């Protein structure tokens, strides 16, 4: 073989071999792809809340814009799992007429850039007063907050927020978010994985419990 | 991932061409004298020191290539480049990120190192059948450092100085063969600073072949 050709082949072979790389994404199961992030208002006393109400559907936010609401198999599985988990933590589910202490909102985020979360108050984006008495009632447009800034890839995420209705008046007529949980990954909108997501989010938030 | 691969390609062409240019400089003028040899080795790298905090698995997808010019019968100088791919996946864990967030994730660390170094090898016994040698080198280390939380990656790519020193043996395939086995080991000190990892130093074990370029 010509020397120059041999040299070139050797160099090219090495460069090809140097491309060998074990891709982490090809060695990750769907459940391993799931990431859960939680944040809390460090001043909130979760034992002071006794009752809650969960939204009957999830807000769907696409590229930062509210696109509608969803109430399918996944959302129902999620609501049931949250209901069960919160009752296990000592809270009581009530309807809006009973003026719940906490409101739980669900937001499905799609096609967004994701990253780590940045905690903000519930109504920062709206700059208005929203009466906690009407939270959750149809037609009032109590949209969920965008409390999380997540990673720099497009993906689907589920955001669950707990809102302080009890102290809205004391907080200057503002509903504040006292807890936020984000789950994201391959199984995020899988109805069969809704309960697992709730369990993980609550497991890493042991401070959520009532002293009833 | 696409961005990373593009970056790797860019870095590869930017830096990996250098030793081949250097090798060509010493190779083509000297080829008539049969003084230029090339070693191609499979390489296993064992993380050491601070590197083991993020990756303790031995990396077995490594290669090394060197072009050496025989200044004398015992002294060889030249350039070498290498590659290895380090990978480790940790079970799901819950941790604080220091910004008030609690995160649960399966963490995967993926690190590629591409050292590009000038090298010197000194053969301790050139008249024996087996030629033991000592080697040392210095140059740059291209480090592609990815930490995945689930499927989301955070990348730190750096080029840092690196040095290595070690020993090995050339074992001719036969008494008159121009080909030799090349076996050896070296320690590479490779500083790094992002992500709380001070260095990505390794112990390398390599085995390959040495052949004349003529």
Q: Which of B1, B146, B150 sits opposite A185 (nearest CB)?
A: B150
SS3 A48: helix
How far is CA B200 from each of CA A27, A55, B47, B144, B160, rounded to the nearest angstrom? 23, 50, 7, 11, 10
Does A138 have pLDDT greater than 80? no
The CA angle B195-B11-B82, to the nearest 5 degrees, is 85
pLDDT of res. A125:
40
Does B21 have pLDDT greater than 70? no
Q: Which residues of A touch B87 (CB under 8 A)?
A: 22, 24, 27
Distance from CA of B42 to the nearest CA of A (A): 10
Does A135 have pLDDT greater than 90? no
Does A70 have pLDDT greater than 90? yes
* Interface touch A35/B150, C-beta < 8 Å: yes
For the ranges A38-52, A140-154, A162-176, the maximum mean pLDDT occurs at A38-52
For the ranges A12-16, A121-125, B90-94, the maximum mean pLDDT occurs at B90-94
pLDDT of res. B98:
84
pTM over 0.80: no
pLDDT digits (tens, 9 = 90+) for A172-209: 888 999 999 999 999 999 999 999 999 999 999 999 99
Give the contacts of A137 (CB within 8 A, at least 6 positions apart).
A96
Average pLDDT over residues B81-105: 93
Q: Which of B20, B27, B106 sits opposite A32 (nearest CB)?
A: B106
Distance from CA of A33 to the nearest CA of B (A): 4
Question: B152 with A153: CB under 8 angstroms?
Answer: yes
Q: Which residues of A touch B92 (CB under 8 A)?
A: 32
Q: Which of A5, A18, A27, A120 to mutate to test the interface with B (most CBs of B within 10 A)?
A: A18
pLDDT of res. A68:
93
A25-203 to CATH, choices 3.30.460.20, 3.30.160.670, 3.20.10.10, 3.40.710.10: 3.30.160.670
pLDDT of res. B175:
82
pLDDT of res. A133:
58
Q: Which residues of B touch A11 (CB under 8 A)?
A: 20, 65
The ipTM (two decimal places) reads 0.74
SS3 B113: strand
Does B9 have pLDDT greater than 50? no
Does A18 have pLDDT greater than 60? no
Q: Which of A108-117, B55-64, B148-157, B196-205 has the lowest mean pLDDT?
A: A108-117
Categorize the per-residue pLDDT at B120 as very low, low, confident or very high, splitting at 50, 70 and 90.
very high
Considering only CB atoms, which residues of chain A are within 8 Å of chain B? 3, 6-7, 10-11, 13-15, 17-25, 27-28, 32-40, 42, 114, 116-117, 119, 151, 153, 155, 184-186, 200, 204-205
Does A113 have pLDDT greater than 50? yes
* Interface touch A21/B152, C-beta < 8 Å: no
Give the contacts of B61 (CB within 8 A, at least 6 positions apart).
A20, A21, A22, B83, B84, B85
Distance from CA of A151 to the nearest CA of B (A): 7
Does A10 have pLDDT greater than 90? no
Q: Whole-angstrom Cα distance, residue A6 to residue B179?
A: 15
Domain assignments of chain A as residue spans, ordered by start = 25-203
Q: Whole-angstrom Cα distance, residue A146 to residue A160?
A: 10
Q: Which residues of A touch B146 (CB under 8 A)?
A: 24
Q: Which of A141-145, A165-169, B142-146, B174-178 has the lowest mean pLDDT?
A: A141-145
Does A33 have pLDDT greater than 50? yes
pLDDT of res. B177:
86
């Amino acid at each position: 073989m010509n020397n120059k050709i041999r040299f070139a082949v050797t160099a090219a072979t090495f460069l090809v071999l140097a491309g060998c790389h074990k891709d982490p994404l090809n060695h990750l199961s769907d459940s391993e792809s799931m990431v859960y992030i939680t944040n809390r208002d460090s001043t909130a006393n979760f034992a002071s809340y006794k009752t809650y109400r969960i939204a009957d559907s999830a807000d769907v936010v696409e590229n930062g814009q509210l696109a509608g609401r969803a109430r399918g198999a996944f959302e129902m599985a999620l609501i049931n799992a949250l209901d069960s988990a919160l009752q296990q933590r000592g809270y009581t589910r009530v309807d809006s007429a009973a003026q719940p202490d906490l409101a739980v909102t669900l937001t499905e985020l799609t096609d967004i850039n994701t990253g780590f979360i940045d905690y903000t108050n519930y109504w920062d984006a709206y700059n208005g007063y929203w009466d906690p008495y009407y939270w959750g009632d149809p037609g009032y447009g109590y949209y969920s907050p965008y409390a999380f800034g997540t990673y720099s890839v497009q993906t689907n995420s589920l955001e669950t927020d707990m809102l302080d209705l009890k102290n809205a008046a004391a907080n200057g007529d503002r509903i504040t978010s006292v807890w936020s949980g984000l789950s994201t990954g391959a199984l995020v909108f899988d109805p069969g994985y809704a309960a697992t997501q709730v369990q993980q989010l609550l497991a890493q938030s042991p401070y959520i419990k009532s002293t009833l | 991932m696409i961005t990373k691969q593009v970056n790797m390609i860019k870095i590869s062409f930017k830096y990996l061409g250098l030793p081949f240019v250097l090798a060509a400089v010493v190779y083509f003028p000297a080829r008539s004298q049969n003084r230029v040899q090339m070693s191609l080795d499979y390489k296993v790298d064992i993380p050491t020191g601070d590197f083991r905090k993020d990756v303790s698995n031995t990396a077995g997808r490594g290669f090394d290539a060197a072009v050496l010019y025989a200044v004398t019968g015992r002294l060889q100088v030249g350039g070498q480049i290498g590659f290895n791919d380090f990978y480790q996946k940790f079970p799901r864990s819950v941790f604080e990120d220091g910004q008030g967030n609690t995160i649960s994730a399966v963490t995967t660390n993926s690190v590629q190192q591409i050292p590009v170094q000038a090298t010197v090898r000194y053969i301790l016994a050139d008249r024996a059948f087996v030629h033991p040698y000592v080697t040392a080198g210095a140059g740059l280390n291209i480090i592609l450092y990815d930490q995945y939380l689930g499927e989301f990656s955070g990348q730190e790519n750096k080029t840092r100085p690196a040095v290595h020193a070690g020993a090995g043996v050339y074992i001719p395939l036969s008494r008159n063969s121009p080909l030799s086995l090349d076996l050896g080991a070296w320690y590479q000190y490779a500083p790094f600073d992002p992500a709380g990892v001070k260095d990505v130093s390794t112990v390398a074990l390599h085995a390959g072949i040495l052949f004349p370029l003529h």
